Amino acid sequence: MSALIGQDIKYCIELLNTSELVAIPTETVYGLAGNGLDKKAVARIFETKNRPFFDPLILHTDSLSKIQGFVKDIPEAAKILAEKFWPGPLTLVLEKKDCIPDIVTSGLPTVGVRIPAHGTTLELLSELEYPLAAPSANPFKYISPTTAQHVYDQLGGKLSYILDGGACKIGVESTILGFENGRPTVYRLGGLEIEKIEELIGKVHLLTENEHNPSAPGMLKLHYAPTKKLVIDSLSNLDKYVEMRVGLITFTEFIHSVKACKVLSIRKDLKEAANSLFAAMRDLDKEDLDMIIAERFPDEGLGRAINDRLYRASIK
């Protein structure tokens, strides 16, 4: 089997209704989607990605009214964030109803839910009575896909259809927020800046890693990684790599002394840099290099999410 790439939403629905998997575009990254209420389909997601069953999934749908059918309660702070940022790159972790299979949540009493901001996928979701479980459409721990071709290159032989929605506009996964004893807690830094969340609901707690018992998706340390070794270092330290074939990821500065250099934003725009990150990692991973070096980005706005992804990619 080799996946087709196209824009046939009706065909996607036919596949999803029979426990098949499809890849779907979102504003963040492409997702590997299956019926989130179908245990067989969800199990196939884990198997296709080679993802451990203790790492929970996110459910995607198109309306808050549908989400209310999947969760027991939506705290006031969550309602405020949903009203402001949905559709968008925010996942809320809420107490689930019994209709959500335990395999989706890795046995946890909570489930991550979101409404993606992508017209094609919203059209698909509006035609479905069930939510789609949809982690990133890549082999577990590898770089997340931001185009349909990226999905095909990685998983094309393992699914039937890739719904092509163009390049993802944000390029890093959603920010995940839940509530620990009523306290707003960020489990994963992502496409929605923490500063914007705190403007609405006040200070949030950061709890973004749990290697053995994650309470939300995206909390494993090693993730989003190329096959080549990646290290985070200052551009002032490049002399110590002079004998190596180095690929470099920088924010704004092009460096001629290395074999390959990817500049993520000459305009110093963190949104542009985040959008370019995974593609740059993927391109450098194809080069004949000894290692990839990335400089640390400003620790503000989407720079936090970029640094988070680079850190996880650097762990071996």
Q: Count other C-beta atoms under 10 Å from residue 84's C-beta.
A: 15
Q: Is residue 66 part of a domain?
A: yes
Considering the domain boundaries, does residue 175 fall inside one? no
Average pLDDT for 158-173:
96
Residue 53 has pLDDT above 70, yes or no: yes
pLDDT in tens, 184-241: 999 999 999 999 999 999 999 998 776 556 777 877 777 788 999 999 999 999 999 9
Give the residue numbers spanning the domain of 263.
230-314
The per-residue pLDDT for range 19-44, each reduced to its tens digit, is 999 999 999 999 999 999 999 999 99
- Between 223 and 6, the more confident residue is 6
**The pLDDT of residue 212:** 55
- Residue 27 in domain: yes
Read off the pLDDT of each residue in 244-270 and give the average, rounded to a whole number. 97
Q: How many domains is the chain partitioned into structurally? A: 2
Spell out where 17-145 has E strands.
22-24, 31-35, 58-60, 90-95, 110-114, 132-133
Residues 145 and 8 in one domain: yes
Question: Of 150, 170, 190, at which residue does a domain stop?
Answer: 170
Query: What whole-number percentage of the chain has pLDDT above 90?
Result: 91
> Per-residue pLDDT averaged across 289-316, rounded?
95
Q: 190: exposed, middle or buried (C-beta count within 10 Å: 0-12, 13-18, 19+)?
A: buried
- 3-state DSSP assignment of residue 145: coil
Q: Is the pTM of this model over 0.85?
A: yes
Q: Does the pLDDT at position 1 exceed 80?
A: no
The CATH number assigned to the domain holding 310 equals 3.40.50.11030
Q: Are residues 13 and 160 in the same domain?
A: yes
Query: What pLDDT was estimated at residue 220?
Result: 75
Q: Is residue 135 part of a domain?
A: yes
Asked which of 154, 170, 186 is the last residue of a domain, the reply is 170
pLDDT for the residue numbered 294: 98
Crossing angle for the helix pair 76-85 and 194-201, to the nearest 10 degrees? 130
Mean pLDDT (the chain, rounded): 95
